[in-house]
Amino acid sequence: MSVYTIDHVSRRFGSRRRSTQALNDVTLSVKEHERWGIVGESGSGKTTLLKILAGLDSPSEGKVLFMGKCLDIRDRATLGDLRSSVQMVFQDPRSSLDPRMRVGDIISEPLRSPLVKGKVPADADARVAEVLDAVGLPADSQRLFAHEFSGGQRQRIALARALAPNPSILLADEPVSALDVSVRAHVLNLIDDLVDSMGLTLIMVTHDLAVVRHTCDHVGVLYQGTLVEAGPTAEVLNNPREEYTRTLLASTRLGHA
Amino acid sequence: MKRFTVLFGLVLAGIVALSALVSLVWTPYNPNLVSSSRYSPPSWTHILGTDRLGMDTFSRIMTGAQTTLVVGILAVAIAALIGVPLGIIAGMGRKVAGELIGRASDVLFALPTLLLAVLLAAAKGASVTTATVAIGIATIPVFQRMARAATLTIMSQDYVLAAEVSGTPRSMIALRHVLPNIAPLLGVQAAASFSMAILAEAGLSYLGLSASPTTPTWGRMLRDANLFAAPLQAIIPGAAIALAVLGFNLLGDGVRDYLDPRLQEVR
């Protein structure tokens, strides 16, 4: 079944006369348990797309179907469905964790939401300890503040928050690009394992094709707001049809050679 | 050097607070006790001398500290309690709400404290209360703007988006994330507004728009002093006002310096 059906979605910012086209007529379908990597350079519209999927933004044109229903973030019922099953990990954990909240409160925030319903565990404290364990942090981390942790650990906290309400879909916005190179692989493997063990659908935005190769079974290539190519990872990366995908591949090969 | 100035501010503010507290239970003389020794110079019986009605200046300065503190606290409280929520709404809400609040704030900002105080005094009769309310209302725009600007910075942080993805209602985001994170900035603003309020009240007292003659306040004492007959009786309350304002300003600056590195870290 299709989790997300993105139907001719465009997004413009700014006034009518001077506007930027962040997304241009994007059509894509994400099925359950697929792991999508959305790649593109800075300004290609990948974060905008992710924000629309997370219900943080709305398309200017076109529509997004979530679980077969049209996603309207002003409608409480559909938004409730979305919040109950979709969680997100942000790029920079220094910005995505409130510096004045304790880790326990940060992680339990989605559990205290009036919008999140259904699968939420009754005992919030037990759930926090459970997800902390799942991301490989000691249970007594709860009482500490985010700035007392390293970058990699902070991203684990962000991941724990996202997993706390038992989501079925995980959105990730460049989840490792703000981290030290040495811990990237750890966090990426952790995401990999958790997506596996919890049976999640993953949509991850990145500019790093190596990350896509490692984690994703499907890939979409965004170029200046247009989805130029999409399909199974092996197919797209080994046999690219589009000129831009080839350029992207060539540039990363240079970087990794 | 920084430490010294903060300490100096702390000492000055401490003296004001201490004399206000002590004056509640003890002053050398009843501050309103009229005696025959008018304009007497400082002596062992009257440490700071007496005024034109023979009232003990030291006792009146001590008691005046009460008014100074109460006016400062209440005026800042009025301004913050109204200004901060409006500022947060302006920073978080729809563009229309933000514009409306912003323009209303501009209008209020254009209204001088003095005019408000005259209006209130005309309607209700001049008292410390009308002066405090006038100063408080006139300070609302300051807090509103400050809170709005700070809220806009916080709203661009990812943890607000994360809270939204977590299904946290906007009102809870305001209380749980925005307010605690803008609190340090508001604290600095409160210290600065506090000393402004003290100065404003002294000014209004001097103009007779605040305390009644029986309430000893520093501004009132300044007004009643005769610079030619007894210059000291004008210098003493003037110095008290200046030192109290200086003290709270230095204290505010100290808090700001202390918070600066943290603010850079947040950004």
Give residue-wise pLDDT tens across range B203-227.
Answer: 999 898 888 878 889 998 888 887 8
ipTM: 0.90
Whether A24 contacts chain B with CB within 8 A: no
Highest mean pLDDT among A3-17, A218-232, A236-250: A218-232
Distance in angstroms (rounded) separating the CA atoms of residues A11 and A57? 9
* Closest by CA position to A68, among listed A94, A30, A20: A30
Which CATH number does the domain housing residue A71 bear? Answer: 3.40.50.300
Q: Which pTM does this prediction carry?
A: 0.86
Position B1 confidence tier, pLDDT thresholds 50, 70, 90: low
For A213, residues 6+ apart whose C-beta sits below 8 A from its C-beta are: A233, A237
In this prediction, residue A182 carries a pLDDT of 86
Mean pLDDT of A92-101: 92
| Closest chain A residue to the Cα of B159, Cα to Cα | A96
pLDDT band at A73 (very low <50, low <70, confident <90, very high): confident
For chain B, give the percent of residues with pLDDT over 70: 96
Q: Enumerate chain B positions whose Cβ falls within 8 A of a Cβ in A.
A: 157-159, 161-169, 176-177, 180-181, 265-266
All structural domains of chain B: 69-266 (1.10.3720.10)
A119: pLDDT strictly greater than 70: no
Give pLDDT, residue A120: 64
Confidence class for position B230, pLDDT limits 50, 70, 90: confident
Question: Given a cut of 60, is residue B167 above it in pLDDT?
Answer: yes
* Candidate from B158, B163, B176 with C-beta closest to A92: B158
pLDDT at B104: 93
Residue type, B209: L
Model pLDDT for residues B36-75, shown as the tens digit of each residue = 788 888 888 888 888 888 888 899 999 999 999 999 999 9
The count of domains in chain A is 1
Mean pLDDT of A91-112: 92
From chain A, pick out residues whose CB is under 8 angstroms from the CB of B163: 98, 109
Write down the pLDDT at residue B255: 77
Contact B185, B146 (CB under 8 A): yes
pLDDT confidence of residue A254: 53
Q: Do B162 and A96 touch (CB under 8 A)?
A: yes
Per-residue confidence (pLDDT) for residue A80, from 0 to 100: 87
At B264, the pLDDT band (50, 70, 90 cuts) reads very low
Determine which of B166, B176, B267 to mutate to test the interface with A (most A C-beta atoms within 10 Å).
Answer: B166
Mutation pick from A71, A100, A131 vs chain B, by most beta carbons of B within 10 Å, is A100
> How confident is the model over B67-112, as pLDDT tens digits?
999 999 999 999 999 999 999 999 998 889 999 999 999 999 888 8
pLDDT of residue A253: 65
pLDDT class of B135 with cuts at 50, 70, 90 = very high
pLDDT recorded at residue A118: 62
Question: What is the domain extent for residue A153?
Answer: 2-256
pLDDT exceeds 80 at position B266:
no
* CA-based R_g, chain B, Å: 22
pLDDT, mean over chain A: 89
pLDDT average, residue stretch B151-171: 93
pLDDT of B126 > 80? The answer is yes
Least confident window among B150-154, B173-177, B253-257: B253-257
E strand spans, A148-255: 169-173, 201-206, 218-223, 226-232
Alpha carbon of B45 to those of B37, B41, B49, B56, B235: distances in Å? Answer: 11, 10, 8, 9, 20
Question: By the CB < 8 Å criterion, does A104 face chain B?
Answer: no
Let me know: does A22 contact A45? Beta carbons within 8 Å: yes
Integer-rounded Cα radius of gyration of chain A? 18
Max Cα distance, chain A (Å): 54
What pLDDT score does B46 carry?
83
Convert the pLDDT of each residue in A12-58 to its tens digit. 988 777 788 899 999 999 999 999 999 988 888 899 999 999 999 99
Span A127-147, pLDDT tens digits:
999 999 999 999 899 999 998
